[in-house]
Structure 1
């Protein structure tokens, strides 16, 4: 496999010329706070609008008016048990109208008040992958990211740079929302930030900074653990999940969490005998799951469903939030290095069906959760693992071991090629160059390429083992 060299940084003059050549997009009506397109089962496209208007707007779809329907009416949801203490939680206020309309598969043009909506392509050859994008405010972890500083919370710049790459499709691998608790008094870095799980936080943590990328291409949205029912699950179901919103499946009441925390896998065609499998793993546990646990049974079922879907094509990318075959590092109470291997809950539940953990036709995994970029390929019969949890959230800074060949992120998974980037924010791109071949690039927050990799079949390798 021939490895590609990492190019030099894009010259400033060329970057300016490219920016000047980008097409401008008409502004949205003032009462529309966000518009975007999500892809669901079989790649079905749904237009979404979040508005402060009293009624949903009408779209122009191929020259005919298409009224949007209400997905979720304005409401304030009573405080429920969350991942934080009751004193650090509050009711979730959604003073906005969430609207939606399905877009027929043969749609040629769709627009809202003259502003075009991005439509899916027959073949998605250029894919942006981002993950873990919100600004971390978490009292239990004493984690106070400087949300007011674009250097320390750079998601808006990452999203703008990714939009300039002109993708056919955006895949977000989960964890959109991180501002869970109020910023401490006297902390200028996050002073005035909204917090909790209502619209004000969703807007600042995700929808406002993501705007240029939301308007650049349709999205496949993967659910992360920060969108579980004890966290930002209410907003997940109101705004992002591509399925119909159902009472009891909205994370509003703790009694319904066994329903709201889980959903079935689905497939999005990519063209050319390939597809993307989307698996919701929001409620798994790194501590492990045992037979009899709700999650064990649900993720076992998810594996079976994903494998059934995978048989429809030769090549499959599988997107879920928790890396099954990746790993991270932290320090224990004695300040000693502790490796955090692939998610134990998924390894146990998936492994109860298949000891190799993933369906045989899965070519690569796209995940987040670990706050860095990472690539792993294996000598054993495992797919490649890519981790793209580096797009905005406070990063993992404990260095990984220099030598990883002896590390098995899952039992029996023997690493052949490994690459990582710690301490840098950005996004990943995948460009299809053949039936089973993708060129993968790692971009920094400004869009400059920092590493290049090739994925062929289930094997991947990169030009740079550790990005400086």
Structure 2
């Protein structure tokens, strides 16, 4: 068959158009991307770098629409089922961690005005952070070693979602989670209706049920600072921590996949997140990874001792960058823990002895550098506020986010009770109501308030320089 030039040109144009249409048909539409998007949020990393992050069941990352322009997101972690490794559970109660999702991220420039993923608007950091919500220890505990199976199917008995929705109504500029997001380690026993059907193990399904689904309202409201808890250590939910949560790049060997690499996967360097200047005061958070810290002092020959020593040296340097520093980690350095004994008596434990031992080597009996005025933690499943007449930072514990609660300590405490031998306690209050904290910056001070899940005020404090005064509200 012979074709003249005009026919040849028409045929080439038709083939080109068909190829273009075929190519376009493979690009997911925004609606298709939205249907596969499992979560989208903003996490703040070193120096306050904002990272847009997304989890999707698609085979490609969704586009990030930034100030009206589309830009690609990078694959942080591809879909995978990770091999079974040694965990904190018995071998017969351990299984491979399945992540049938892509984790994607992209750095957001500081001057970004709007950002969205698959039609979902992202909350952006403000130049000056003024209102902060603090939560911690939020997951639903399923743990056969303790024979403890929380009522994950009852929104009153596991009230994380209810607490989140109350906290979101405060419209914070920033959310801080002080660690322990994941508690669904073992299967719900057969016949237990309170947790029947719950996913378990360390894969995406448990992470989604324990954190991403119930946290949705706050993930939509503000950027997050995420602190690592002991439940996110490599022998527990560390694989998900590195794939989903930590703001730093995911690195082979620091991903908790192979047990022989856990010395790299269980420890990470501290970093600072600036909060901007109010009046003459430049403030920042110093984020510290205490996931593997034990409760008793470490031997000086222990590799962990050397790692933590270098990290606390880094904290001292970071503290020089701001006038007002808030140190955040998972384990309270200056808080109390309590345990109910079988006879009914209450045993009270001091703050973390391993960290105290290392910190006093660097900073004498104050433990913290002079520019650290407050410290936040979780781990103990209570709200606590501790102020000191000695030169020690105020300690807040926000570990009452929804996981199985500890027994509240009776007040007043015994005379001379202290979380650290050199600290003189001035005020102590605590609560085992499920709830959260807010921290609000004012011109010369900070207003710190603890709330229960319905938004009832529990405790109120005022921080100004190194002086903090607190009062508990009548019940």
Partner secondary structure for residue 235 of structure 2: coil
Whole-Å separation in 2 of the counterparts to 1:332 and 1:425 = 23
2:270 maps to 1:260 = no
Asked if the contact 2:429–2:472 (Cα under 8 Å) also holds between the matched residues in 1, the reply is yes
Work out which of the residue numbers 463, 471, 475 in structure 2 matches 1:463: 471
**What's 1:382 paired with?**
392
**What's 2:305 paired with?**
296
Larger Rg: 2
Shifted more, 157-166 versus 26-35: the winner is 26-35
Whole-Å separation in 2 of the counterparts to 1:27 and 1:34 = 14
Whole-Å separation in 2 of the counterparts to 1:447 and 1:233 = 32
Asked if the contact 2:408–2:431 (Cα under 8 Å) also holds between the matched residues in 1, the reply is no
Work out which of the residue numbers 61, 65, 69 in structure 1 matches 2:66: 61
Work out which of the residue numbers 455, 466, 474 in structure 2 matches 1:447: 455
Q: Deviations over 1:246-266 (max 9, x none)?
A: 000000110000000000000
How do 1:281-292 and structure 2 match up within 5 A?
281-292=290-301
Give the unaligned 5+ runs of structure 2.
Answer: 1-30
Partner secondary structure for residue 442 of structure 2: strand
How do 1:349-360 and structure 2 match up within 5 A?
349-355=358-364, 356-360=366-370
Once the two structures are TM-superposed, the CA of residue 451 in structure 1 deviates from its matched residue by 2.5
**What's 1:188 paired with?**
193
Asked if the contact 2:256–2:265 (Cα under 8 Å) also holds between the matched residues in 1, the reply is yes
Once the two structures are TM-superposed, the CA of residue 352 in structure 1 deviates from its matched residue by 2.1
Partner secondary structure for residue 367 of structure 2: coil
Once the two structures are TM-superposed, the CA of residue 335 in structure 1 deviates from its matched residue by 4.5
**What's 1:396 paired with?**
406
**What's 1:239 paired with?**
244
Work out which of the residue numbers 83, 91, 94 in structure 2 matches 1:78: 83
**What's 1:322 paired with?**
331
**What's 2:348 paired with?**
339
Whole-Å separation in 2 of the counterparts to 1:258 and 1:181 = 25
Once the two structures are TM-superposed, the CA of residue 337 in structure 1 deviates from its matched residue by 2.2
Partner secondary structure for residue 472 of structure 2: coil
Asked if the contact 2:45–2:225 (Cα under 8 Å) also holds between the matched residues in 1, the reply is yes
**What's 2:424 paired with?**
414
Q: Tell me the TM-score normalised to structure 1 length.
A: 0.91
Once the two structures are TM-superposed, the CA of residue 336 in structure 1 deviates from its matched residue by 3.4
Q: Deviations over 1:337-381 (max 9, x none)?
A: 211210111111222222221111101001000001000011111
Once the two structures are TM-superposed, the CA of residue 405 in structure 1 deviates from its matched residue by 4.7
Q: CA 1:271/1:332 → structure 2, altered by over 3 Å: closer, same or farther?
A: same
**What's 2:47 paired with?**
42
Whole-Å separation in 2 of the counterparts to 1:334 and 1:296 = 36
Whole-Å separation in 2 of the counterparts to 1:400 and 1:81 = 39
Asked if the contact 1:129–1:171 (Cα under 8 Å) also holds between the matched residues in 2, the reply is yes
Whole-Å separation in 1 of the counterparts to 2:333 and 2:95 = 33
Asked if the contact 1:331–1:398 (Cα under 8 Å) also holds between the matched residues in 2, the reply is no
Partner secondary structure for residue 316 of structure 2: helix
Once the two structures are TM-superposed, the CA of residue 52 in structure 1 deviates from its matched residue by 0.2
Q: CA 1:267/1:405 → structure 2, altered by over 3 Å: closer, same or farther?
A: farther
Greater RCO, CA 8 A, separation 6+: 1
Asked if the contact 1:28–1:115 (Cα under 8 Å) also holds between the matched residues in 2, the reply is no
Partner secondary structure for residue 276 of structure 1: strand
Whole-Å separation in 2 of the counterparts to 1:205 and 1:332 = 29
**What's 1:222 paired with?**
227
2:147 maps to 1:137 = no
How do 1:96-175 and structure 2 match up within 5 A?
96-175=101-180
Once the two structures are TM-superposed, the CA of residue 404 in structure 1 deviates from its matched residue by 4.6
Q: CA 1:27/1:322 → structure 2, altered by over 3 Å: closer, same or farther?
A: farther
Once the two structures are TM-superposed, the CA of residue 333 in structure 1 deviates from its matched residue by 5.4
Shifted more, 325-334 versus 158-167: the winner is 325-334
Work out which of the residue numbers 308, 322, 328 in structure 2 matches 1:313: 322
Q: How many residues align?
A: 440
Whole-Å separation in 2 of the counterparts to 1:314 and 1:262 = 27
Once the two structures are TM-superposed, the CA of residue 92 in structure 1 deviates from its matched residue by 0.5
Asked if the contact 1:324–1:343 (Cα under 8 Å) also holds between the matched residues in 2, the reply is yes
Q: Deviations over 1:48-74 (max 9, x none)?
A: 000001100101101211110100001
Once the two structures are TM-superposed, the CA of residue 115 in structure 1 deviates from its matched residue by 2.1
Whole-Å separation in 1 of the counterparts to 2:130 and 2:267 = 30
Asked if the contact 1:90–1:196 (Cα under 8 Å) also holds between the matched residues in 2, the reply is yes
Asked if the contact 1:418–1:461 (Cα under 8 Å) also holds between the matched residues in 2, the reply is no
Q: Deviations over 1:307-346 (max 9, x none)?
A: 1010011110111000000002113455432112101111
Q: Deviations over 1:401-442 (max 9, x none)?
A: 5325511201201101111112x101100000124x111111
